[in-house]
Amino acid sequence: MANYFPPEHNGSAFNCIYCDVYAAQRWTTLLVRNPSGGFATVQGFDRCICSKCKEASFWFNGKQVVPASSTAPLAHELLPEDCKADYEEARNIVAASPKAAAALMRLVIQKLMKSLGESGKNINDDIKSLVTKGLPTLIQKALDYCRVVGNNAVHPGEIELNDSPEIANQLFAMVNYIVEDRIARPRAIEAMYESLPDSAKNAIAKRDSQG
């Protein structure tokens, strides 16, 4: 799954909020015409234009105000249905409250565990169980990243999310990465395998049944 770079104030390149393409961004100070002639700078306002789609976003005091939609990536299309509402709510509030968004994403991970065959009662125990079943190290690290950041949102910890909003934004990319590896990729491989002729699949089954 491709890396996602969320829009950031004065960032030279990131994933555009309109076209979602990673592209260079051009920043200009917002100007308005004076009634007496000429132009004046609007204090605190900036305009950002995507080099790919040419659409403009507007920022005030370092925060995106137009469009008002989230800078976090959209949910993976195969994210389980019972996770989607919490994911979208977290996207909608991450700019205003990274801590609240991280807490919601912790809930998303907890629900996702059930789709991965675990109990969904204790994230740490579920990750341990998945590791004993052969969970790849990178996915374990992604899950633990979400667990630790989410726990810091619920209980006081060493990570101050309101001071480091980019940490909360990374949760969305991590969840999508987990879904891609654990759900989307196995489903795609299974579909390709099932497209093989029955004779080929029967021969494979016969081969594997022989000691």
- Mean pLDDT calculated for residue range 56-80: 82
Please report which confidence band the pLDDT of residue 157 belongs to, taking 50, 70 and 90 as the band edges: low
- Mean pLDDT calculated for residue range 9-34: 87
CA 71, 183, 112, 86 dihedral sign is positive
Q: 1 with 180: CB under 8 angstroms?
A: yes
pLDDT at position 45 is 85
Identify residue 127 by its one-letter amino acid code.
I
- What tokens does 207 get? 């081969």
Q: What is the reported pTM?
A: 0.66
In what helix (H) or strand (E) does residue 7 lie, and over which residues does it extend?
none
Cα gap 113→88, rounded to integer Å: 18
Please report which confidence band the pLDDT of residue 34 belongs to, taking 50, 70 and 90 as the band edges: low
Please report which confidence band the pLDDT of residue 52 belongs to, taking 50, 70 and 90 as the band edges: very high
The answer to whether residue 209 scores a pLDDT higher than 60 is: yes
Q: Which residues contact 51 (CB under 8 A, 6 or more apart)?
A: 23, 24, 25, 26
How many percent of the chain have pLDDT more than 70? Answer: 91
Give per-residue pLDDT as tens, 76-132. 999 999 999 999 888 888 877 888 888 899 999 999 999 999 999 899 999 999 999
Cα angle for residues 98, 125, 160 (degrees, 5° grid): 20
Q: 118 with 146: CB under 8 angstroms?
A: no
pLDDT at position 85 is 92
Give per-residue pLDDT as tens, 165-208. 788 888 999 999 999 999 999 999 999 999 999 999 999 999 99
